[in-house]
Structure 1
């Protein structure tokens, strides 16, 4: 399955308050193997073969842009980022190419996300008719592949719920891809999470 007509969306708008509260500063800008976390995510996604990669910024707009300098991704700012993930999704979906057949949504604090699953996720999403997401040890993870039929619903989202409610509402049209790769679940919320990610990255 080719990703050449699908978009990738990286959500990087949150303030990371939990990470900062636990003794860290901006988690997306934290060092991971010699580069900021958000750059590691973007580099990985850019290597997957999507038609476009769009990054949505918010709280740390200027430094995140700086961290992505030189990468072939398009960066858009969500002015209402403080509302929660819905604002980031709305901004990102509205910015996608009009010819996009669907989008894989990535989180900016998940540097170990296995992009090799994307082709299978896209294929399953198209077959199911709405979306597909990976699942590890029974827990749903990222990235989430959403067909164009979901775009209208994504543009109507509000608050900090993300797309989870939509996936539940359309459960009969959502497929899952079981995987043993814990990278679909590993996000960075605390300095301890960053240490775990760094160890996994080095390995």
Structure 2
């Protein structure tokens, strides 16, 4: 069997949030026979990404244990990093994840831990459509930009100034034609869980 090509991009799963609107411990909520976080872990591990980095914050020990157990059931492992200042917002989690991306990687694909319905093909489609001029790529559902988001390493320095609850989405519009938007017909790229009732509408 021929050797598989080395992955060009790392995966980052942001799983550090407090889940305040949910009432706390959102990513550990029971969901489809496991916990909510399982689905993001599955999506990242199924994509052509290596390593897959889990960023923890709130409930760090339990979140890491749940994610490692899910990965182990697939015969895989995760690189886990902790965002010590996660309470300051999404930007801190993103910075912790980007800092852990190995130098060999061209960039990273960022997943949100509370998005359980991502289509299995989305990362391969983003990478496959990428051209040298693109600094980032994101899926598009009926005009709404979704996740996961691919970030080339050249973009990392411009993300260092993000503060509070701002993620990479705040800098994407300014990229103009250097941002690749890939149409997809699956609403899972824009659906996330904010409140307990969302678990039953997915």
TM-score, normalised relative to structure 2: 0.89
Q: Match for 2:144 among 134, 139, 145?
A: 139
Contact 1:131 / 1:144 at 8 angstroms: preserved in 2? yes
Q: CA deviation at 1:115?
A: 3.6
Q: List alignment gaps of at least 5 residues for structure 1.
A: 198-203
Q: List alignment gaps of at least 5 residues for structure 2.
A: 72-76
Question: For structure 1, which segment, 69-78 or 116-125, has the greater mean C-alpha deviation from structure 2 after superposition?
Answer: 116-125
Give CA-to-partner distance per residue, 1:3-30, whole Å, 9 cap, x none. 712100010111010011xxxx421001
Q: Match for 2:185 among 174, 180, 184?
A: 180
Q: Which residue in 1 is equivalent to 2:162?
A: 157
In the alignment of these two chains, the number of paired residues is: 192
Over aligned residue pairs, what C-alpha RMSD do you find? 1.6
Q: CA deviation at 1:155?
A: 2.8
Q: Which residue in 2 is equivalent to 1:64?
A: 63
Contact 1:104 / 1:145 at 8 angstroms: preserved in 2? yes
Q: Which residue in 1 is equivalent to 2:74?
A: none
Contact 1:125 / 1:146 at 8 angstroms: preserved in 2? no
The whole-number CA distance in structure 1 between the counterparts of 2:130 and 2:151 is 7
Contact 1:128 / 1:175 at 8 angstroms: preserved in 2? no
The whole-number CA distance in structure 2 between the counterparts of 1:78 and 1:49 is 25
**Partner SS, residue 63 of structure 1:** helix
Q: Which residue in 2 is equivalent to 1:32?
A: 31
Contact 1:134 / 1:176 at 8 angstroms: preserved in 2? yes
